[in-house]
Structure 1
Amino acid sequence: MPHVVTQACCGDASCVYACPVNCIHPTPEEPGFGTSEMLYIDPATCVDCGACVSACPVGAIVPGHRLPDEQARFADINAAHFEPAGADAARFPVDPSRRLPLAPIDHPRRLAADSPLSVGIVGSGPSAMYAADELLRHPQVSVTVYERLDRPFGLARFGVAPDHLATRSVMRLFDDIAGHPRCDIRLGVAVGTDVTLDEVRNRHQAVIWAGGAPTDRRLDLENATAPGVLSATALVGWYNGHPDHTDLDVDLSSSRAVVIGNGNVALDVARILTADPESLADTTLAPRALTALRSSAIEEVVVLGRRGPAHAAFTVPELVGLVDTGVNLVVDTADLASAAELVIDDVTTRTKLDLLAEVAGRPPADGPRIRLAFHRAPAAIRVDNDGRATGLAVDHTRVGASGTVESTGISETIETSLVLTSIGYRGVAVPGLPFDDTRGVIPHDAGRVVDHDTPVPGVYVTGWIKRGPSGFIGTNKTDSAETVGSLLADYEAGRLPAARPARRRVLSRLG
């Protein structure tokens, strides 16, 4: 029975290179890698050797005969990405001798320069740790990671849902990297406050900025700043114990909460708010949040999407996690009607619509529920005389011929005292570095920071602040590899600034 990639997949592609028969795709060299929701094992090619199992940092790969019931459908999800379905099966029959492109394995090479190289990395999230891992493969390189918080690993620690324990286990890999004798992690050091970027640049021959996209996209809505309106990111930080959000005022007294946006973070928030608090007691949920959830009055979380189900932002693995683990999920059949008129060629979208149709056909269940509502656009936050949120006005929508979202003229108000916005992240400008305000990223050329097309000597960028808030934890591995490749090429070519005496003064300040 072939092995199967399951929901926990982080997409870091370690399994791709471990596989001796090239059965895991897309590879980092294939066009779909950057946007793929997960990686998939071709059951026709897999020889069941298990090499991928030990390579996976999050335990997402399971022998097919050992799949638990809540993951059983991942066998079909994996296979569907290699087998034409429906009419396509007749037009494009599977060639049993086919071979997809093999991912080339780049063995560590000896660098053309052998002088010591000191690299500073600002941030300690996944992109930072993958960059450190790439650099530390070379014996002349030492790395210092600067993290403003008292605990490392960024969104891997503070952004992953506390009950997604498999995904959170990627931190074991980061622990191994952090424990390398040539890696020094300085916690509680905010670059720009405790030490300037120029001082860090003076200490190291190269600096990689891996600060992520730390803010939410702004919701342009009447009363968007009213008490009771929070970002989903802040709520995630609250229940994960992020120091910036421990004192967040979360009103759980309403029977309903509304989440604007329907990406994976929105579903995570909805799941945590409707879960039995005792089922979260043995997870990494923050104690203060657990206490609050035990007295929560929330019975329904409505997750809104402006477009139809075919354009839902959540991924198939995240949806499977709701559908097959006993979560009380509700979808109105009427909300799926628009998708029935579409010709869907993409296997991921077809799978998503099939799952939603399955949910819509289920009889209603008792207990707290998550309602997925499509074709709903937020119009205004309703507030009481004290200015606190009491509801969300929404307009019913349709997608016009040009692909734009249009109002149908029908509106409603959803009563709630807790509105959560989950419409994406955004990078912030870094003093001393160029910034693309339109995209919310630091401009770069293959990871080299550029200012008006001119490289900034010795400064590089990786992660969301480089490419925008896209991809998954493991996507940062290939992103960081590109940046490190540029950095090492500059080092070999003698383009990096020489170390300067100021390095010692900064070292003494930081201990």
Structure 2
Amino acid sequence: MTTDRPLRVAVIGAGPAGTYASDILSKSDLDVSIDIIERLPAPFGLVRYGVAPDHPRIKQIVVALANVLGRGDIRLLANVDIGTDLSLQDLREHYDAVIFATGAFKDADLNIPGIDLEGSYGAADFVSWFDGHPDVPRTWPLDAKEVAVFGVGNVALDVARILAKHPKDLAGTEVPDNVMELLKSSPVTDVHVFGRRGPAQVKFSPLELRELGHVPDVDVIVYPEDYDFDEASMEAAENNKQTKQVVKTLTDWTLKEPTGASRRIHLHFLQAPHEVLGEDGKVTGVRVERTALQGDGNVKGTGEFIDYPVQAVYRAVGYYGTEIDGIPFDQSKGVIANDGGRVVAGGDVVPGYYATGWIKRGPVGLIGHTKSDAQETIANLVEDAPRLYAESEAGAEQRSPDNLLRLLQSRGVDVVQWHDWELLDAHERAIGEADGRERVKVVPREEMTDIALGRTGA
């Protein structure tokens, strides 16, 4: 296809999904000009603000993402919010295509009685707090001795581990100072993690689960009475390598005697959340229903209920995508309505709009899964390119990188580009180095932008 200008594409979101999609598109046969638009002053999305600070191996994904964003052929426009700083109409006027890679960062609902009591929290909010997200409050009520976590995925493990881990064992990480101070005063002794199905159905990754067993002065306790397998469970444990590793780790823990550690993480299976108990509007306990496997890996309630005294509850039952005004949204799935990444409304394709990552397929899978997801979306965009050029030629003179930047500057938007982020990155690393750490995150949004844009003496 021969054209006299590059196809202008905006990618909304600078996390793994948006960065992978941009990288794949940049290496296609199309002549393209790509802007990644990010609402936060820092890139990397979920890897910076959704992964626990004591997981440095996972955070090494940042290195791969930075290699893409720092090449120079993809422009980062951070600290720019769609709906506030730029409208969908602005995007239509300045780009031939828009890829939404906005992810899922809200907690999914858990509709049980008492879930709204004081002391009941969403895991995503807690993760944002301990990861220093600039848009959440900098305080957190850590006054519970006993805590319940609903969910058996990696986020549930992160929540349980951060709550139970002694702060001194987080000292070498990039955990923000205000988080460290509050964790030091936490009186927690016991964290109870509940899953409604059996040990062969949990969503823990083997590595994350094994790491839980190496947290100093924390016993991991698995109860034999919670441990059951049906035919489907046995088949999964035999035929799926990850399930086999997880089951082996959990089985070993059922045989292990507690060491008398000062803190404990209890893993409970075949116990479904039924109610959050309270008194005077505050959490005082949880009631769970014992479940039984049915042969196919699913469970049903037995009518037997167990109460546990806890003073805080965290629901880690999944994430839910955030709706964007004007973009078709599937409320039942929490995703942008799409077919293979092409945004659809009422079954019809919306020309020029695409989706990738969790906002396309839902919050499932690990970070690496977003690569194959992005390949499908980009393949469809490349296939649509002739139509995208044809449909947008009327306003082609508007579509230059300089015009979009001038528009943002005229609106007083403090745009953070890649070279600006490098200043903030260097600043955070310098603070960390002085304290023997890899980095210490700057948390307040204004301070982040001031440092990035060279408006301080830092």
TM-score range, shorter chain: 0.7 to 0.9
> Distance in 2 between the 1:338 and 1:177 partners?
45
Aligned length: 399
The answer for the alignment partner of 1:379 in structure 2 is: 274
The answer for the alignment partner of 2:456 in structure 1 is: none
Farther-moved stretch of structure 1 (322-331 vs 433-442)? 322-331
Residues 50-105 of structure 1: CA distance to partner in whole angstroms, max 9, x if unpaired? xxxxxxxxxxxxxxxxxxxxxxxxxxxxxxxxxxxxxxxxxxxxxxxxxxxxxxxx
Q: Which amino acid aligns with 1:470?
A: V
Residues 170-220 of structure 1: CA distance to partner in whole angstroms, max 9, x if unpaired? 112222222232322222211012211121121111110111122211110
The answer for the alignment partner of 2:343 in structure 1 is: 449
From 260, 264, 274, the equivalent of 1:369 is 264
Q: Which amino acid aligns with 1:346?
A: N
Instruction: After TM superposition, give the deviation of residue 303 of structure 1 in Å.
Output: 0.4
> Is residue 245 of structure 1 aligned with residue 136 of structure 2?
yes
Q: Which amino acid aligns with 2:190?
A: E
Q: Which runs of 5+ in 1 are unaligned?
A: 1-110
Residues 428-463 of structure 1: CA distance to partner in whole angstroms, max 9, x if unpaired? 322222122222222223222122232211111100
Q: Is the 8 A contact 2:230 2:296 kept in 1?
A: no
Q: Is the 8 A contact 1:241 1:286 kept in 2?
A: yes
- More helix as a share of residues: 2
Q: Is the 8 A contact 1:256 1:300 kept in 2?
A: yes
The answer for the alignment partner of 1:346 in structure 2 is: 239
Residues 364-418 of structure 1: CA distance to partner in whole angstroms, max 9, x if unpaired? 1122121100111112222222x12121122222234676533322222211221
> Distance in 1 between the 2:228 and 2:296 partners?
19
From 421, 426, 431, the equivalent of 2:320 is 426
Q: Is the 8 A contact 1:238 1:286 kept in 2?
A: no
> Distance in 2 between the 1:183 and 1:349 partners?
39
Q: Is the 8 A contact 1:114 1:140 kept in 2?
A: no
Q: Which runs of 5+ in 2 are unaligned?
A: 410-458
> Is residue 160 of structure 1 aligned with residue 55 of structure 2?
no
Higher relative contact order (Cα pairs below 8 Å, separated by 6+ residues): 2
Q: Which amino acid aligns with 1:123?
A: G
Residues 348-367 of structure 1: CA distance to partner in whole angstroms, max 9, x if unpaired? 32332221110111111122
> Distance in 2 between the 1:341 and 1:208 partners?
39
Q: Given the superposition, is the C-alpha separation of residues 242 and 297 from structure 1 closer, same or farther in structure 2, using an over 3 Å criterion? A: same
Q: Is the 8 A contact 2:54 2:173 kept in 1?
A: yes
- Per the normalisation by structure 1, the TM-score is 0.73
The answer for the alignment partner of 2:362 in structure 1 is: 468
What are the within-5 Å matches in structure 2 for residues 51-450 of structure 1? 115-137=5-27, 140-250=31-141, 252-323=142-213, 328-338=219-229, 343-344=234-235, 345-347=238-240, 348-365=242-259, 366-385=261-280, 387-400=281-294, 404-450=298-344
Q: Which amino acid aligns with 1:410?
A: E
Q: Is the 8 A contact 2:277 2:285 kept in 1?
A: yes
Residues 134-189 of structure 1: CA distance to partner in whole angstroms, max 9, x if unpaired? 22235832211111112111101111110111111111222222223232222221
Instruction: After TM superposition, give the deviation of residue 119 of structure 1 in Å.
Output: 0.9
Residues 8-32 of structure 1: CA distance to partner in whole angstroms, max 9, x if unpaired? xxxxxxxxxxxxxxxxxxxxxxxxx
> Distance in 2 between the 1:234 and 1:215 partners?
8
- Secondary structure at 2:37 match in 1: strand
> Distance in 2 between the 1:257 and 1:122 partners?
37
Instruction: After TM superposition, give the deviation of residue 114 of structure 1 in Å.
Output: 6.3
Instruction: After TM superposition, give the deviation of residue 126 of structure 1 in Å.
Output: 0.5
> Distance in 1 between the 2:175 and 2:154 partners?
18
- Secondary structure at 2:211 match in 1: helix
> Distance in 2 between the 1:249 and 1:302 partners?
19
Q: Is the 8 A contact 2:199 2:228 kept in 1?
A: no
- Secondary structure at 2:228 match in 1: helix
The answer for the alignment partner of 1:49 in structure 2 is: none
> Distance in 2 between the 1:510 and 1:447 partners?
28
